[in-house]
Structure 1
Amino acid sequence: MSENHLLPPQEIELKLLLEPEAQTVISHHLAAITLGRSQKKRLITTYYDTPDLQLRQAGLSLRIRRSGSLRIQTLKTDREEGQLAIHRGEWEWSIRHDHPDMDVLSDIPYGALITALATRLKPVWVSHIDRTTHTLPYNGAMVEAAIDEGYVQSGNARDPVRELELELKDGPVRAMYGLALALQAIAPLRLGVLTKAERGYRLHTGAQALPVQGRKPPLTGNMTLAEGFRILIRSGLNALIDNQSAAEAGNPEGVHQMRVAIRQLRAVLQIVERRHVDRSTLRLFQTELQRIGRELGEARDWDVLCLETLPAAFPAHKNDDRVRMLTDAAQLKRAAAYQKIRHELQAPALTALVLSLSLWIEDAFFPEGKGGKEISLSHVAPTVLDHLQRKVMRRGRRISHLSPKKRHTLRKSLKKLRYVASYLEALYPARAVKAYMKHCKELLQQLGKNNDTVVASTLALDLRKTHPDLAPIISAFISWNDRRHRQALRALSPAWKRLRRAPLFWHE
Structure 2
Amino acid sequence: MTTEHLEIERKFEAEDSFALPDLGAADGVAAVDAPEEQTLEATYYDTPDLRLLRSRVTLRRRTGGTDAGWHVKLPASAGARRELHQPPGRATRAVPKAVTAPVLGLLGTAVPEPVATLRTRRVVHRLRGADGRVLAEVADDVVLGTALAQSPGEPATVTSWREVEVELVDGDEALLEAVAGRLVAAGARVSASPSKVGRVLDRRLAAVPAPATAPGAGGGEEKTKKKKGRKAAARTATAGDVVLGALAGQVTALRDADVAVRTEQAEGVHDLRVACRRIRSILAAFRPVLDRERTDPLRDELRWVGAELSGARDGEVALEHLRALVAAQPVELVLGPVAARLQQAEVVDHRDGARRVTRTLTSPRYLALLDALAALLAEPPLAESAAAPAPAVLAAAVRHGGKRLRRTIEAAREAEGEARHARLHDVRKAAKRVRYTAEVAEAAVGSAATALVACTKDVQEALGAAQDTVVTRQYATRLGLAAFAAGENAWTFGRLHGLEEGRAERSEAEFWALEPALRRAVGKVARLA
Shorter-normalised TM range = 0.5 to 0.7
Q: Is the 8 A contact 1:329 1:463 kept in 2?
A: no
Report how far residue 413 of structure 1 moved. Answer: 1.1
Q: Is the 8 A contact 2:401 2:430 kept in 1?
A: yes
1:507 is aligned to 2:507: no
CA deviation digits over 1:412-459, x for unaligned, max 9?
1110110110221111333x3443333222222211111111221123
1:283 is aligned to 2:296: yes
CA 1:136–1:453 in structure 2 vs 1: closer, same or farther (change >3 Å)?
same
Q: What is the rounded CA distance, in whole Å, between the counterparts of 2:439 and 2:65 in structure 1?
A: 44
Tell me which of 330, 333, 339 is aligned to 1:324. 339
- The residue aligned with 1:106 is none
- The residue aligned with 1:187 is none
Q: What is the rounded CA distance, in whole Å, between the counterparts of 2:343 and 2:204 in structure 1?
A: 54
Tell me which of 497, 501, 508 is aligned to 1:478. 497
| Aligned length, in residue pairs | 357
Report how far residue 312 of structure 1 moved. Answer: 2.2
CA 1:465–1:237 in structure 2 vs 1: closer, same or farther (change >3 Å)?
farther
Q: Is the 8 A contact 2:391 2:445 kept in 1?
A: no
- Percent identity, aligned pairs only, is 20
Name the SS of the counterpart of 2:427 in structure 1.
helix
Tell me which of 515, 519, 522 is aligned to 1:496. 515
Q: What is the rounded CA distance, in whole Å, between the counterparts of 2:253 and 2:259 in structure 1?
A: 12
1:407 is aligned to 2:452: no
CA 1:60–1:326 in structure 2 vs 1: closer, same or farther (change >3 Å)?
closer
1:298 is aligned to 2:308: no
Report how far residue 266 of structure 1 moved. Answer: 0.8
- The residue aligned with 1:442 is 458
- The residue aligned with 2:242 is 228
Report how far residue 378 of structure 1 moved. Answer: 2.2
Q: Give the AA of the match of 2:301.
A: E
- The residue aligned with 1:191 is none
Q: What is the rounded CA distance, in whole Å, between the counterparts of 2:80 and 2:264 in structure 1?
A: 29
Q: Is the 8 A contact 1:223 1:376 kept in 2?
A: yes
- The residue aligned with 1:381 is 394
Q: Is the 8 A contact 2:257 2:268 kept in 1?
A: yes
1:254 is aligned to 2:268: yes
CA 1:408–1:250 in structure 2 vs 1: closer, same or farther (change >3 Å)?
farther
Name the SS of the counterpart of 1:122 in structure 2.
strand
Q: What is the rounded CA distance, in whole Å, between the counterparts of 1:98 and 1:329 in structure 2?
A: 52
Q: Comparing 490-499 with 383-392, which one deviates more in the overlay?
A: 490-499
TM-score scaled by length of structure 1: 0.59
- The residue aligned with 2:150 is 135
CA deviation digits over 1:379-437, x for unaligned, max 9?
3112211111100010011545453222112111110110110221111333x344333
- The residue aligned with 2:441 is 424
CA 1:472–1:259 in structure 2 vs 1: closer, same or farther (change >3 Å)?
same
CA 1:227–1:44 in structure 2 vs 1: closer, same or farther (change >3 Å)?
farther
CA 1:59–1:12 in structure 2 vs 1: closer, same or farther (change >3 Å)?
farther
Aligned-CA RMSD value: 4.6
What does residue range 209-228 of structure 1 map to in structure 2 within 5 Å? 214=217, 218=230, 220-228=234-242
CA 1:380–1:334 in structure 2 vs 1: closer, same or farther (change >3 Å)?
same
- The residue aligned with 2:31 is none
Q: What is the rounded CA distance, in whole Å, between the counterparts of 2:388 and 2:308 in structure 1?
A: 37
Report how far residue 269 of structure 1 moved. Answer: 0.8
Q: Is the 8 A contact 1:142 1:170 kept in 2?
A: no
Q: What is the rounded CA distance, in whole Å, between the counterparts of 2:156 and 2:375 in structure 1?
A: 16
Q: What is the rounded CA distance, in whole Å, between the counterparts of 2:391 and 2:379 in structure 1?
A: 22
Q: Is the 8 A contact 1:262 1:289 kept in 2?
A: yes
Structure 1: unaligned runs, 5 residues or longer: 1-10, 17-40, 48-54, 62-83, 86-91, 102-119, 145-153, 156-166, 178-211
- The residue aligned with 1:367 is 383
Structure 2: unaligned runs, 5 residues or longer: 1-47, 54-60, 68-74, 82-105, 108-115, 126-134, 158-167, 170-200
1:396 is aligned to 2:426: no
Q: Give the AA of the match of 1:499.
A: L
CA 1:275–1:229 in structure 2 vs 1: closer, same or farther (change >3 Å)?
closer
1:358 is aligned to 2:371: no
Q: Comparing 383-392 with 462-471, which one deviates more in the overlay?
A: 462-471
Q: What is the rounded CA distance, in whole Å, between the counterparts of 2:121 and 2:280 in structure 1?
A: 52
Q: Is the 8 A contact 1:404 1:454 kept in 2?
A: no
CA 1:500–1:143 in structure 2 vs 1: closer, same or farther (change >3 Å)?
farther
Q: Give the AA of the match of 2:430.
A: S
Max Rg structure: 2
Name the SS of the counterpart of 2:151 in structure 1.
strand
